[in-house]
Structure 1
Amino acid sequence: MNTRNTLHQNTQQRAAVISGIALLLMTLAAILAQGYIHSSLIVEGDTATTFKNIQASQSLFSLEILGWLIIIITDLVVSWGFYMFLKPFHPGYSLLAGWLRLLYTAILSMAVSYLVIANGTVHNLEMDLTADTMAQQTLGSITAFESIWSFGLIIFGLHLVAVGFVAMSTKKIPKLISLLVVVAGFSYSLIHVMYGFIPQFDRFTGQLEFMLMAPMVIGELGFGVWLLVKGRNLTMD
């Protein structure tokens, strides 16, 4: 193997390790921010209770925002890492996957800005607002966050589909891992297209999301674990 190929292989292996670590950190941040804090503070359709929950746990809500900022940073790292790792297998689709993830990260950043706005409202930065108005504005900002993030997850799903197709094009990556990534991507896009464009089926969509939750989580996380364990030793010869 010549020096140039060795350099490319070393870069690919480093990208695998960095991506794997970033995905694990992202998963932990998501469990904290969305899985624990957001779901415990936000009561869907109940403006008053949601506002009281956040007022009573302002430091916890700030911690959620910090969790989302960590997710945004690790998403940027994963965008680079996936592209560098997958580029030798299919440069075109790898670039597409990278740009899709960057687009998703930009949308997520926009969504998280509404949590920052909600946090400012709860801290009563506008002293002339009544408690009821503050509650309405807080829930409005949180609803905007959830809607924008849901739209972003359609793009995220397309990103995973592109990653899965690149992975399936090589024998270096196990076909089961590749298939799980494709299924996860398809599931994300389907679920959030339904949430965004067929709201009358929200109850069914929620049930479908519950059934697809396992492949949605296992797909990308499984790929991340494989990158960290096996991808770091991958050779192109």
Structure 2
Amino acid sequence: MLTPSDTTRRTAVRVAGAGYVALFVLAIFANFVVKQGIVDPADAEATVAAIRAQEWLFRVGIAAFVLVFLIDVPVAWGLYVLFVPAGRARSLLAAWFRIVYTVFLGVGAVFMFLGLQIATGDFALGEQQAMLMLAAFDVAWYVGLIAFGVHLMLLGDIIIRSRIAPRFIGIVLAVAGCAYAADTLVHILVADYAAVADLMLAIVAIPSIVAELTFTIWLLLAGRRSSAVTRDDLIERTDVASPGRPLARETSGL
């Protein structure tokens, strides 16, 4: 089985780098500016009033989530191609977990749109039904985030083992993945999540910002150099080495 060509890997790292930048901007806008800025889980009446008053902004926020849903697909492809030399099976598994997260985000965007339709009076339903749809968005996203956490853990493990990227990036990605997964489990298992919300925000936000920002910078800058493998690296390899047969030489990081 052949690894991707040098040209394909260069394209992949550029797609992943540009995608990460777009995801960073869109996700911050959609989640923190729009959703958290408009939706108050404790006040249905105020939330519905805010959605009606800022309907255009809310629609733009939904569109941003949909763009995140779409962009995540080529990003998953780019990361898969980039890290194939570290093991096709492991790289494919990491990509699949990212796709699973992406699908759940798309489902969440549907719930958010239904909440908008109810809040603006397109359906003959009340404020509580609108809040239920917005809460369903949260649940779908949280379930997706546990898959995203596994994706980051697998990606971190690939980087640590292969050294295709600096080992530090692999470590912080794995830590961020654990934090995402833990936060989802706490949401499910703890009845009063609000009591630990600030603590969990710090646990998730710090490693995830450090990890994904560092990884994005590496993809944009050093990733292009590390994707420039020689022809000797583009040889047949298996996902697991046969007894007595060493794996093909890995590409180096920085």
TM-score by length of 2: 0.85
- Worse-matched range after superposition: 92-101 or 200-209: 200-209
* Structure 1 residue 212: Cα displacement: 3.5
Secondary structure of the equivalent of 2:46? helix
Read off the aligned partner of 1:89 and give its amino acid letter: A
Aligned residues of 2:41 and 2:131 also touching (Cα < 8 A): no
Q: Which runs of 5+ in 1 are unaligned?
A: none
1:45 aligns with 2:42: yes
Residue number in structure 2 paired with 1:203:
195
Aligned residues of 2:51 and 2:120 also touching (Cα < 8 A): no
Secondary structure of the equivalent of 2:85? coil
Aligned residues of 1:194 and 1:202 also touching (Cα < 8 A): no
Distance 1:70 1:190 in 2: 26
Deviation per residue, 1:36-56 (Å, 9 max, x gap): 111110112111000100011
1:226 aligns with 2:222: no
Residue number in structure 1 paired with 2:31:
34
Distance 2:166 2:113 in 1: 41
1:99 aligns with 2:92: no
Distance 1:49 1:202 in 2: 19
Count of matched residue positions in the alignment of Structure 1 and Structure 2: 228
Distance 2:49 2:199 in 1: 29
Q: 1:236 to 1:106 in 2, by over 3 A?
A: same
Read off the aligned partner of 1:37 and give its amino acid letter: V
Give the 5 Å matches for 1:144-159: 144-159=136-151
Distance 2:105 2:39 in 1: 18
Picking from 161, 168, 171, the partner of 1:176 is 168
Read off the aligned partner of 1:86 and give its amino acid letter: F
Read off the aligned partner of 1:87 and give its amino acid letter: V
Secondary structure of the equivalent of 2:41? coil
Residue number in structure 1 paired with 2:119:
122
Aligned residues of 1:151 and 1:196 also touching (Cα < 8 A): no
Secondary structure of the equivalent of 1:169? helix
Q: 1:218 to 1:33 in 2, by over 3 A?
A: same
Aligned residues of 1:38 and 1:64 also touching (Cα < 8 A): yes
Distance 2:107 2:214 in 1: 28
Distance 2:193 2:50 in 1: 29
Q: 1:66 to 1:229 in 2, by over 3 A?
A: same
TM-score by length of 1: 0.91
Percent same amino acid at aligned positions?
25
Read off the aligned partner of 2:60 and give its amino acid letter: L
* Structure 1 residue 205: Cα displacement: 4.6
More helix by share: 1
Distance 2:138 2:28 in 1: 16
* Structure 1 residue 236: Cα displacement: 2.8
Q: Which runs of 5+ in 2 are unaligned?
A: 231-254
Read off the aligned partner of 1:162 and give its amino acid letter: L
Aligned residues of 1:151 and 1:193 also touching (Cα < 8 A): no
Q: What's the Cα RMSD here?
A: 1.6
Distance 2:129 2:192 in 1: 25
